[in-house]
Amino acid sequence: MKLNSTAVDNQAMSNIYTLEQALNLNRQEVKEAHKKYVNSSLAKLMSLLNFDLQYVKASGVSVWDSEGREYLDFLGGYGSLNLGHNHPRVIQALEKVQNMPNILQASLGTLAGALAANLAHITPGKLQRCFFGNSGAEAVEGALKLARAATGRDKIIYCRGSFHGKTFGALSVTGREKYQRAFQPLLPGTVPVPFGDLDALSKLLKNNDTAAFIVEPIQGEGGINLPPAGYLAQAKELCSRHGALFIADEIQTGMGRTGSMFACEQEGVVPDILCLAKSLGGGIMPIGAYITTDEIWQRAYGSVENATLHTSTFGGNTWAAAAALATIETIYRQDLITQAREKGSYFLRKLKKLKEKYPLLADVRGRGLLIGIEFAKPKGFAYKATMGVINRLSEEYMGSLVAGQLLNKYGIITAYTLNNPNVIRLEPPLVVEYRQLDRVVEALDEILSTHRGFFSMAASGAKTMLKTFTFKD
């Protein structure tokens, strides 16, 4: 016998969570939901070092778990939280537009137009025309398409060690084979070069068949890698000489993170296309964008016939644009660019003093409040029973082991960079206080001060990793 529609509706309602019920889920229930309905392997990975804590409150640099413990967020949403968690100015902006239509395609969005004008004013050079999407990967996708449409060429050059996203086009220019291998063949015509190698770039550009060179001013997921001095400016000049467009991926480095509004400005570089996302939405609304010159835009989409070749349903929606407008205003009102520059300089000095004390710190590098600390591969312990597997895991994932120690013992949230697991990123909100920076330095000092205790921690963490990788759920 078939159920009538009311019975079906009642049955469905009995099986789904209301918002109120979802908010009351405990940590174990959340973990089980992810294991069963989301990504079980990722849930397992997050559980390795207690990264499956349930956070229930956030403000500024601080977050609190379901047991009331406070943590400092020095991961910062991979650069999405330049303003910190739940900045009141962004919240207030959303409250002001709550009665406006959020998505109405048969119109020209009021706030999207204002946001595009603001971006044209704060970006370098003659960058003028914006496209709005929902993420960094979408911004990159749009930039790649724009470059091909505007130049009539198909070759895209990117850097090894780069990270531009995991959608198909963005993944095709992301410089790590681990993420590419399962999805090959990827976008044709994409060619890697070593980051910072002008000779290699010049050789690929000399045939005058390249649509664009895409580069991060500082490689984030590559391990917070800074380019050689003058590299960006010379790469831009090479691109201009050979008719290729220069795409600056400022998704992580932009919006004040490195001590200037955009990192490329520190070399006086004006890109042909600039990609934005992450902190553009104030850490609350997802929004991505690219901005380019009028000339390039006209070559690709300047006719009525081509006006709809690349669009986005949610791109430039009212709530996202409102958040972005409030974010830009807040960065300037609170002088967060100067704060990032000064606090970053202070933090780097303190961390470099640790490097002088501890050989296990191979390098400390960064700019502004985008900082990486790289750990040397520890030697001196191995376990015959596991045929050296624990030793290898500890060598390859030292960054994650230190991150686990920082989280569980000191209440400091960090993570390793995706393309270099031995580098921990320190990327706090730009509103971070000096005492909070000191707390991280002190925690690292304690962790590193006793090599024997640190190796014991590393071995213990590696054993947990081995057990997790060996046995199924």
Indicate if the pLDDT at residue 12 is higher than 80: no
CA distances from 438 to 333, 412, 423, 433 (A): 26, 12, 20, 9
What integer is the mean pLDDT of 80-105? 97
Pairing of strands 370-375, 420-426: antiparallel
- Lowest mean pLDDT segment, chosen from 58-72, 143-157, 255-269, 413-427: 413-427
**pLDDT band at residue 315, thresholds of 50, 70 and 90?**
very high
Sequence letter at residue 62: S
- Residue 463 amino acid letter: K
pLDDT, the chain, mean: 91
Residue 85's pLDDT is 98
pLDDT at 46: 82
pLDDT at 51: 84
Tokens of 327: 């974010």
Amino acid 14: pLDDT: 77
Mean pLDDT of 462-470: 50
- From 276, 8, 252, 282, select the one nearest 119 (Cα to Cα): 276
> In this prediction, what percent of the chain has a pLDDT beyond 90?
81
Confidence of residue 356 (pLDDT cuts 50, 70, 90): very high
Token pair of 296, please? 């390039």
pLDDT digits (tens, 9 = 90+) for 106-159: 999 999 999 999 999 999 999 999 999 999 999 999 999 999 999 999 999 999
What is the model's pLDDT at position 299? 97
CA angle (47, 53, 55) in 5-degree steps: 150
| DSSP element (H, E) containing 177 | helix 177-180
Question: What's the CATH class of domain 88-333?
Answer: alpha beta
Residue 473: how many other CB atoms lie within 10 Å: 9
Band of the pLDDT at 193, cuts 50, 70, 90? very high
